[in-house]
Amino acid sequence: MARTQGSHSDITGPRVRTAALKLFAQHGFAAVSMRQIAREVGVQAGALYNYTPDKQSLLFDLMNTHMGELLASRADLPDDATPLQALETFTRFHIRFHSERPEEVFIAYMELRNLSEDNFARIEGLRRTYEDQLEVILRAGMAEGVFHVADPKLATMAVIAMLTGVNTWFREGGRLSLEEVEQIYWDMVRKSVGA
Amino acid sequence: MARTQGSHSDITGPRVRTAALKLFAQHGFAAVSMRQIAREVGVQAGALYNYTPDKQSLLFDLMNTHMGELLASRADLPDDATPLQALETFTRFHIRFHSERPEEVFIAYMELRNLSEDNFARIEGLRRTYEDQLEVILRAGMAEGVFHVADPKLATMAVIAMLTGVNTWFREGGRLSLEEVEQIYWDMVRKSVGA
């Protein structure tokens, strides 16, 4: 029995997530019903509850998966990487990862208000972990005298906002390739921390 | 008659906008009904239609007012202002203006998807006008050799995203005053354009 249930869930899970992601991004969490999500997946509303207890869990699952993938996708750097190399790797990774997931990024920012208190705290924790990784890089560069930053916490927030902003305007097939955008943003990030 | 209608509208208009702003920011445009807005204002649903033909007009009105205020609030610079002074003024203005209007900023970003095609084009036009003002400053600084920017369009988007990002984390009474935040961001913006 457990095996059957598991298999069922393995197939339905990603389809439910994809449907919820699409509908939340299109209409907003509060405007979407479990019935609409079921219709999008192509199952009865009741069947959806085999996969998820409620819409809140679905929203948390989407954001948690997104943040988990973000943290898991960061490439390991060689032990002798300099802070400048670490910052360049972070910059290019952040742009690429987020540009591939416009709907996840949109929801991660927009639907924080709809998370329950506990779920919000967990997502905030993951977000803080990611921000801390950049702050550690900036502090290492400051300690070595290669970065000149007045406040590493603010510089962390500034760099992340600048990079995530690419999502608001970048379109494949536009004037610049993502490679070129990465290069130009890396140049600005480097300068902004005084390196 | 016209006078009475005008007066009525003058009183109700701002209250309707305030109510719509609050509810859209809290629940999202698609989840809010005209009936809910009327309840928040304290009038019958029918009375709301004296003020606005529909929810779409209300959303456009909010965004249009926000962008109009943004463009009208920029202080005139002295004729002999340098590009560096113009950039500093822009930076400080942008942070202050947006930090005072968290709900408007949230909606301006989040609800673009819910504007009709015509309304979207008009809001986009105003946004473009604002971005162009920064691009003109950057190009002037590049022409004088005081700014070193690889791509003024991308630098424009990067600086605006960095500055608007303050809204996601700044809280009055936190570790730093808005004045201090402005100073630190100005330092980063200046460096990011190579000045």
Query: Which tens digits make up the pLDDT trace of B132-161?
Result: 999 999 999 999 999 999 999 999 999 999
| DSSP-derived secondary structure letter, A79 | T
CB-based contact B31 A26, cutoff 8 Å: no
Residue A23 sits in the same domain as residue A80: no
Residue A80 sits in the same domain as residue A34: no
Return the higher-pLDDT residue of A66 and A2.
A66
- Chains A, B: CB contacts within 8 A come to 100
Question: Which residue pairs from B3-11 have beta carbons closer than 8 angstroms and sit at least 24 positions apart in sequence?
Answer: B5/B50, B8/B50, B9/B50, B9/B51
A1 Cβ contact partners less than 8 Å away, ≥ 6 residues apart: none
Residue B188 sits in the same domain as residue B130: yes
Total number of residues shown for chain B: 195
Residue B22 sits in the same domain as residue B107: no
pLDDT tens for A21-42 read 999 999 999 999 999 999 999 9
Nearest CB partner across the interface for A161, out of B150, B162, B181:
B162
pLDDT at residue B63 greater than cutoff 60: yes
Residue A48 structural domain: 2-52
Confidence category of residue A13, pLDDT binned at 50, 70, 90: confident
Nearest CB partner across the interface for A184, out of B26, B113, B154:
B154
Q: Identify the domain boundary among B12, B31, B52.
A: B52
The domain that holds A142 is classified in CATH as 1.10.357.10
Q: Which of A195, A26, A188, A194 is nearest to A91 (CA)?
A: A188
Number of compact structural domains in chain B: 2
pLDDT tens for A131-165 read 999 999 999 999 999 999 999 999 999 999 999 99
Residue B67 sits in the same domain as residue B30: no
Cα–Cα distance, A145 to A93 (Å, whole number): 24
Amino acid present at B166: V
Cα–Cα distance, B9 to B42 (Å, whole number): 15
